Amino acid sequence: MFTRERHSPLPEWVIPMCYAATAVPAGMIIPRLEHRFLAVTSTLSSAVALTILSSITSGMIALTGIVFSLAFVMVQFSAVAYSPRLVAWISRDPVIWHSIGIFTATFLYAIGDMAWIDRSGSSGVPFLSSWVVIILTLASVGMFIALIQRLALLQVSRMLAFTGDLGRQVIERMYPSLETPASTARTDEFAKFQVTQTVVHSGGPQALQAVDMPALLALATQTSGRVEVLASVGDTLITGMPLLRVFGGDQLVKDETWKAAFETGPDRTFDQDPKYALRLLVDIAIKALSPAINDPTTAVQALDQIQDHLLRLGRRRLEIGAVRDREGTVRLVVPHPTWEDFLRLAFDEIRFCGATSVQVMRRMRALIRDLIEALPQERHPALEHHRERLNATIARSFADEEEKLEASVEDRQGLGVPRASREASFIVKK
């Protein structure tokens, strides 16, 4: 059973604030301690040292401005070219915030070091503090290079791989192998009990990001009841929307105690939401298929990642919603997406938006055939259903018989190396 991952409630801007809060006292204390206890001074003249430190401080301000500019470009580009839902993940990139923090720390510490040059007319230059500034400057250069490298993330292949990797991590973490017995609950296991408590959401709209199943199981056992969670991870919770029902409980638990097991926030996350990665991949695909962009090749690349996700999901046990206690009694039921839910999300919108694209239709036909050949028999009926819907879309979208035939060929590249399709002639006749 997977547990809820706790997220820090602190916003990202706290990172540079911590750097600044450390640099200010360090800039005041380290030179003072060095002046009192370490009788070592640099061989640089005070004029040269002041010139170097002045250049560093002014340069750090310029670099900080560049960081903000790059961050703005990354956020705007990802929102327009890919999906607005990717903006949150790019804007929270730790490289951006640590870069701002190191640049700020270098600027503040260098100012503190400048105050100890030629202190009281001694013409001395602190040796240790000067080296601290040099080290911070080198670290700033390294972070600036790392930040430039992050721009490569804006390439469509990198963006798709980035999103796909996040989804693959969730799949590997959440779902056991297909050989694992299904964990489901019969309807009669709850029907004989009365509802003893219902917990509803209060407050503004929030996305359900994660559910702490061990905590809910412990509360269900404590009350000797059965808990049915009514909201799925990824749902937007509205005031008054039910979160869970307790059946047959022998004691009431405060609503806030139940709600503590639900993590909510303004955006969906990947922690327990494998559909979210598919959602983003589909967003990128249908954005590319929009008349304003008209880039079916990007949609085909998104389908490559979608196929990998579906292949992994098809080899996993997706029925994991029922949790039993040691005696085998169902204590907790949490809704999870089914195989049909994943297929509907992966195919329907792309098939609709790419209905007139020969490239997309060919890639989708190859995708479905590859899944049928690679996955066990129990996954085939849903895939056959979507293949029939794809065939109907091709027959409806292309008036010319030759175009229908071209669109019905299976091709992993869309327009690359086609494979012979036994159904192509059948679709044309229809």
- Other residues' Cβ atoms within 10 Å of the Cβ of residue 356: 15
Average pLDDT over residues 55-67: 81
**Least confident stretch, 8-17, 117-126, 338-347:** 117-126
Residue for token digits 């640590």?
A: 98
Q: Is 401 exposed, middle or buried (0-12, 13-18, 19+ CB in 10 A)?
A: exposed
- Structural Rg of the chain based on CA atoms: 29
Q: What is the pLDDT of residue 4?
A: 45
Q: What is the pLDDT of residue 2?
A: 46
Q: What is the pLDDT of residue 336?
A: 92
Share of the chain above pLDDT 70, in %: 89
pLDDT tens-digit readout, 172-200? 999 999 888 888 777 667 778 899 999 99
pLDDT tens-digit readout, 124-175? 677 778 888 889 999 988 988 888 777 777 778 888 998 999 999 999 999 9
Nearest-CA neighbor of 334 among 317, 322, 342? 322
pLDDT tens-digit readout, 349-364? 999 999 999 999 999 9
Phi and psi torsions of 92, nearest 5° = -95, 10
Q: What is the pLDDT of residue 6?
A: 47
pLDDT tens-digit readout, 249-281? 888 899 999 999 999 988 888 889 999 999 999
Average pLDDT over residues 297-302: 94
Q: What is the pTM of this model?
A: 0.80
Kindly tell me if the per-residue pLDDT of 9 is higher than 70. no
Nearest-CA neighbor of 130 among 5, 27, 278? 27
Q: According to the per-residue pLDDT averaged within each range, which of 116-130, 257-271, 365-379 is highest?
A: 365-379
